[in-house]
Amino acid sequence: MRCPKCKYPQYCPCKSCKNRLPKYRKPWIWGKEGEFITCARCGLTKHADWWEDESYKQYKQSMTKER
């Protein structure tokens, strides 16, 4: 998934995923409340549910392009 504002790829910040992350890439940032995610590049902050919906939307768009 990419940030819809700046198109930066979003990477999971969990310990397992961070170990596989390219050194020049930064993962998304979890907010202090634990419900909001912020893009590491542009700072777009939305609720985690919004990001999940956006991820699905981008996935569906990619599937229709392949057909």
Measured CA distances, 3 to 27, 52, 54, 62 (Å): 12, 12, 9, 15
Please identify which residue in the block is written with the tokens 């542009």: 42
Measure the CA–CA gap between 3 and 40, rounded to whole angstroms.
Answer: 9
- Whether the pLDDT of residue 67 is over 70: the answer is no
Q: Name residue 47's beta-bridge partners.
A: 36
- Whether the pLDDT of residue 1 is over 80: the answer is yes
Closest residue by Cα to residue 36 from 51, 26, 25: 51
Q: For residue range 11-57, what is the model confidence (pLDDT) as tens digits?
A: 999 999 988 998 899 999 999 778 999 999 999 999 999 999 999 99
Q: Residue 38: what pLDDT?
A: 97
Please name the amino acid found at residue 61.
Answer: Q
